[in-house]
Amino acid sequence: MVDARSLTRFGLVAGYALDTALGDPRRGHPVALFGRAAAALERRAWADSRSRGLAYAGACAGVATGLGLAAQVATRRRPVARFVTTALATWTVLGGRGLAREGLAMAGLLDSGDLPAARGRLSHLCGRDATGLDATELARAATESIAENTSDAVVAPLLWGAVAGLPGLLGYRALNTLDAMVGHRSPRHERFGWASARADDLANLVPSRIGALATVLCAPLVQGDPRRAWRAWRRDAPRHPSPNAGQVEAAFAGALGVRLGGVNSYAGRTEDRGTLGDGPAPGPADLRRSVRLSRAVGLAALAAAVAR
């Protein structure tokens, strides 16, 4: 009989293949359903309180992790069911194909000079205020989002799945979704979202650095220099306000030979992300290269996950 660890590996590979071939489920996406349930609970549970936010994060992530644990226990002696469940869960939590699709769509809009459409499309990648952004800033924002989400939506879930199986896959995705919903520093979520943001930071502490290392190793696949990528990663990552996003964004900047970072605006709040990398600002061609780099890093993460 195939052991549980091997079943998890096979399930991760199958789930990755499903995401690569099909992308996100078009209807009834479980992550979207989780998000709606979490939003409904927030409306009832919200208070300008860290302790209330901690209870909220614990309840939401706890339910997701508990479902994963229940599925893992239920399929303990059913290898086919364990494989299928792991594959479907992996497909659900990964976002590699969707990320690539949005990056290529943005590059096409920038190439055609359709800035209004490109500004509208940016919301599919990140929450940055696109009003008034020119082509250069739109390309930078999209490239940064490709880098950050390669870690968040591909590398981290694969590694958590390898380490903790179904609870790791679902629990990580729940935390990452909560961070996107309430983890930003808006007046409403400054205190309530603190626990969600810090939990997501902890969950991504190791995956983001593994993703940055994979970026360095994959740099030659996009005509980049691994030494330049390493130098940018080690030198520039601390300039970024995020302890994790800066790791992979700096490595991407070095691998692509472009300059990322700067001042961004989010719903009226500005944030200085420092200067990441050397060279010119990215353009549409660099954005396409970032998509290829993202795919390569995802494959490297899969290899690391199944080799464990």
Per the structure, the count of domains in the chain is: 1
**3-state class (DSSP) for residue 267:** coil
Annotate 68-93 with b (16+ C-beta within 10 A) or e (fewer).
bbebbeebeeebeebbebbbbbbbbb
* One-letter amino acid of 89: A
Query: How far, in Å, CA of 165 to CA of 249, rounded?
Result: 27
Query: How far, in Å, CA of 273 to CA of 262, rounded?
Result: 5
pLDDT of residue 274: 83
For the stretch 246-281, pLDDT in tens is 999 999 999 999 999 987 766 566 777 789 999 999
Query: What's the whole-model pTM score?
Result: 0.94
Other beta carbons less than 10 A from residue 219's beta carbon? 24
Residues of the chain under the 70 pLDDT cut: 1-2, 265-269, 308
For the stretch 128-171, pLDDT in tens is 888 889 999 999 999 999 999 999 999 999 999 999 999 999 99
Q: How many residues does the chain have?
A: 308
Q: Both tokens of residue 262?
A: 């700067």
* One-letter amino acid of 131: T
Residue that is written with structure tokens 């996009």 in the block: 222
Query: How far, in Å, CA of 91 to CA of 280, rounded?
Result: 36
Quote the distance between the C-alpha of residue 223 and its chain's center: 24
Query: How far, in Å, CA of 217 to CA of 192, rounded?
Result: 39
Query: How far, in Å, CA of 29 to CA of 254, rounded?
Result: 35
Q: Where are the alpha helices (DSSP H) in the chain?
A: 4-22, 30-45, 50-74, 79-93, 96-112, 115-121, 135-150, 156-182, 194-218, 226-236, 245-256, 284-307
From first CA to last CA, the distance across the chain in angstroms is 20
Other beta carbons less than 10 A from residue 277's beta carbon? 25
Burial of 45 (0-12, 13-18, 19+ CB in 10 A): middle
**3-state class (DSSP) for residue 206:** helix
pLDDT of residue 273: 78
Which domain range does residue 244 map to? 4-307
Q: Sign (positive/negative) of CA torsion 91, 95, 96, 98?
A: positive
Quote the distance between the C-alpha of residue 81 and its chain's center: 28
